[in-house]
């Protein structure tokens, strides 16, 4: 196992443990991390020894969302370049959402933006008490476009209208109330809870578990392919906004640590 890799993979007891491994960058999703996580999903899906996937973050943060350095670069990129960048995340979220075997998110700390897409794309979510979350995009002149098909499938229109528009900080308990988290536990009991759920899943027959996931998608008529395609389509909206005046001002204000010109407080 390469301890310097942006995503660490450890396979034990029938489960693949994937860890976002950029603790110094709050496990932000840069291009290398997105690529590594996509490759890990593909590799583990093909491994007959892997019956379950667990996703977590190194250190005390789950994932800070987009990488700040890449965000700054994308603010000056063309619409076409922004689209290509956004489509990579859309493809990753689609692959996680469509992953044929059970998935478990071990949300060990804060998660923002794209992190909420990762959480929404997992089957079962356990979040640590005290962790904070937010859809912060509108405060940068953007929208949570790429994550929206996966998030909306879990939280519905009402919650999205509030938290997409207000960008309020949400607690782990709020995530549970909205349907994005199944259990909220102390950091000390996070591993024990995930182990308990993993053991319960692994008691199921491998093919039956995969068929159960497919059954849910088919009955609800929300296929993984539909969500992936919608996410890619929404990436075009994000790319269009990123080159507009508001987003330019939003990024400029963010990196200058000042209020954007639309703020009146």
* 263 within some domain: no
Cβ neighbours of residue 217 closer than 8 Å, sequence gap 6 or more: 223, 224
C-beta of residue 180 within 8 angstroms of C-beta of residue 120: yes
Does residue 1 form part of some domain?
A: no
Q: What is the pLDDT of residues 45-57, one digit of tens each?
A: 999 999 999 999 9
Which residue, 83, 168, 154, is CA-closest to 118? 154
Q: Per-residue b/e over 138-148, b at no fewer than 16 CB within 10 Å?
A: ebbbbbbbbbb
Rounded to an integer, what distance in angstroms lies between the CA atom of residue 8 and that of residue 12?
Answer: 13
Q: Which residue has the higher pLDDT, 39 or 254?
A: 39
Looking at residue 31, its pLDDT comes to: 94
Query: For the chain, how many structural domains are there in total?
Result: 1
Q: State the burial class of residue 10 (Cβ atoms within 10 Å of its Cβ: 0-12, 13-18, 19+).
A: exposed
- Across the chain, what does the average pLDDT equal? 92
Task: Report the distance separating Cα 165 and Cα 93, nearest Å.
Answer: 22
SS3 105: strand
Whether 91 is covered by a domain: the verdict is yes
Cα 203 from chain centre: 27
Angle at the Cα of 227 from the Cα atoms of 207 and 251, rounded to 5 degrees: 130
Query: Does some domain include residue 261?
Result: no
Mean pLDDT of 135-140: 94
pLDDT 10s digits, 164-200:
999 999 999 999 999 999 999 999 999 999 999 999 9
pLDDT at 2: 57
**CB proximity list for 145: less than 8 A, separation 6 or greater:** 86, 137, 234, 235, 237, 238, 241
Percent of all residues in the chain with a pLDDT value above 90, rounded to a whole number: 72
Residue 161 domain-assigned (yes or no): yes
Residue 224 has pLDDT above 80, yes or no: no
By residue count, the chain amounts to 265
Instruction: Identify the domain containing residue 105 by its residue range.
Output: 7-254
Please give the pLDDT value at position 201: 97
Asked if the structure places residue 262 within a domain, the reply is no
CA dist., res. 55 & res. 96, Å (int)? 10
Report how far residue 83's alpha carbon sits from residue 238's, in angstroms, rounded to the nearest whole number.
7
Q: How confident is the model at residue 222 (pLDDT cuts 50, 70, 90)?
A: low
pTM of the predicted protein model = 0.90
Q: Look at residue 14 and tell me if it is in a domain.
A: yes
Q: Is the pLDDT of residue 233 over 90?
A: no
- Which tokens is 87 given? 């489509």
Residue 216 belongs to a domain: yes
Q: Please determine, for residue 38, whether its predicted confidence score (pLDDT) is greater than 90.
A: yes
Residue for token digits 């999205």?
Answer: 160
Say which range, 108-122, 123-137, 250-264, has the weakest mean pLDDT: 250-264
Predicted local confidence at residue 86, as pLDDT: 87
Q: pLDDT band at 1, cuts 50/70/90?
A: low
**70-87 mean pLDDT:** 84
Distance CA 223, CA 68 (A): 32
**CATH number of the domain encompassing residue 81:** 3.90.226.10
């Amino acid at each position: 196992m390469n301890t310097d890799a942006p995503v660490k993979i450890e396979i034990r007891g029938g489960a693949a443990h994937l860890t976002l491994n950029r603790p110094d960058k709050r496990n932000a999703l840069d291009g290398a991390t997105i690529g590594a996580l996509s490759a890990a999903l593909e590799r583990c899906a093909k491994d007959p020894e892997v019956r379950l996937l667990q996703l977590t973050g190194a250190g005390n943060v789950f994932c800070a969302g987009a990488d700040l350095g890449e965000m700054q670069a994308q603010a000056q990129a063309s619409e076409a370049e922004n689209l290509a960048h956004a489509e990579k995340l859309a493809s990753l979220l689609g692959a996680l959402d469509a992953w044929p075997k059970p998935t478990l998110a071990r949300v060990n700390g804060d998660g923002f933006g794209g992190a909420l897409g990762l959480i929404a794309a997992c089957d079962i979510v356990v979040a640590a008490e005290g962790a904070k979350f937010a859809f912060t995009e509108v405060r940068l002149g953007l929208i949570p476009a790429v994550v929206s098909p996966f998030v909306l499938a879990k939280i519905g229109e009402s919650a999205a209208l509030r938290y997409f528009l207000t960008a309020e900080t949400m607690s782990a308990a709020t995530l549970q109330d909205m349907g994005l988290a199944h259990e909220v536990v102390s950091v000390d009991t996070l591993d024990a809870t995930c182990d308990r759920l993993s053991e319960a899943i692994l008691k199921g027959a491998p093919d039956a578990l995969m068929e159960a996931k497919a059954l849910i998608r088919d009955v609800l008529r929300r296929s993984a392919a539909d969500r992936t395609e919608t996410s890619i389509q929404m990436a075009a909206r994000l790319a269009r906004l990123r080159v507009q005046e508001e987003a330019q001002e939003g990024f400029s204000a963010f990196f200058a640590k000042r209020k954007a010109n639309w703020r009146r407080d």
